Amino acid sequence: MADSGDYQIFEAGDVALQSGRVFPSLRLAYKTYGALNSAKDNVIVYPTSFGAQHSDIDWLIERGGALDPDRYFIVAPNLFGNGLSSSPSNSREQLGEAPFPLISYHDAVAVQRRLLVEQFGIAKIALVYGWSMGGMQAYHWAACYPDMVKRAAVVCGSARCSPYNAVFLEAVKAALTADPAFVDGRFTRKPAAGLRAMGRVYAGWAMSYEFYRDETWRESGFGSLEDYLAASWDTAFAHRDGNNLLAQIATWQNGDISRCAAFGGDLDRALVAIRARILLMPGQTDRYFDARDNEAELGRLVNARSAELRPIPSIHGHRAGNPVRIPADRAFINAAVSNLLQS
């Protein structure tokens, strides 16, 4: 374990990936909040989402909230490709000129499990909570380690990336890689134009029809739609590394809890393996992870201790699941997760 100031590094060593490649000296960055109790049963795992680092999601960790550091030991593992854990931007020394490999959610969750077991001696998890790509990780945790996970909250996520979701990501990749900095499969410099174009693609998908119809952006002080797009989306990914984003898009598109040796691609078999209490919380107007996917999954979680579908009643699309500045959505999530933790 290495300390990098605001976060720590778990040195996982040489890791054999699902793809068949071995990643040399794989590194998992993580941040902890609160204290582990003597029984080691107050653990919450809170993995990061697309392009995000632990500091981008810690708004939900607050005293008196659902993820209360005074009550729980919260571990926030940074998903590979986010610039802190092993990513294209920080792995050239290990990989040389070899392309950055596909790291699946199964690979990521397996290393996260090693962190909990080897570093902290944790055998039980009170809750795995995640939004978007974090929600997909929560689903993988519940399916792959059913004896370890007591509860899972999947917020604006699904058990696998749907074809519709994958097509959206193709549009994101096309916008990003159209930048002239993309040469021979990687960016040779910062793709400023590609990152702006990617933000404009995201703007149409991230928010809902109702959000734009009702000009809800005016509530944030914008005088025109163009002002909103320029300020909120042209710069949304400007601080991220283009190669890192492509690596995480690959993880996202290949996400499927059943895509492993244990389940052989059989989604029903993977869902039946889950025994935790499951809270599926799609955004009512989310276009990335459609609520219909969660509806279809709900009836197949037959061995879960309980399975509940609670759509977030919001016009904020995918952002309803990460409502840093949306009080109503934030209160809804806190209440739902608090109830789950009390069950």
Active site residue 104: no
18: which 2 tokens?
């699902």
Give the separation between CA 29 and CA 309, rounded to whole angstroms: 32
**What's the rounded Cα separation, in Å, for the pair 201 and 112?**
32
Q: How far is CA 256 from CA 137, 268, 300, in A?
A: 10, 12, 15
Instruction: Decide if 154 contacts 135 (C-beta within 8 A).
Output: yes
Chain-centroid distance, C-alpha 303: 25
Tally Cβ neighbours within 10 Å of residue 341: 21
Are the C-beta atoms of residues 7 and 54 closer than 8 Å to each other? yes
Q: Which of 241, 258, 318, 329 is catalytic?
A: 318
Is-catalytic flag, 318? yes
Cα-based angle 103, 80, 48 (whole degrees, multiple of 5): 125
Of these residues, 286, 293, 316, 329, which one is catalytic?
286
Q: Output 179-183 pairs: Cβ under 8 A, ≥24 positions apart.
A: 179/242, 181/242, 182/242
Taking only Cα atoms into account, the Rg of the chain, rounded to an integer number of angstroms, comes to 19
For residue 149, what are the CA distances in angstroms to 41, 68, 152, 296? 11, 19, 7, 22
Does the active-site annotation cover 286? yes
Q: Which of 91, 104, 132, 208 is catalytic?
A: 132
Cα maximum dimension of the chain? 55
107 and 137 Cβ atoms separated by less than 8 Å: no
Catalytic residues: 132, 286, 318
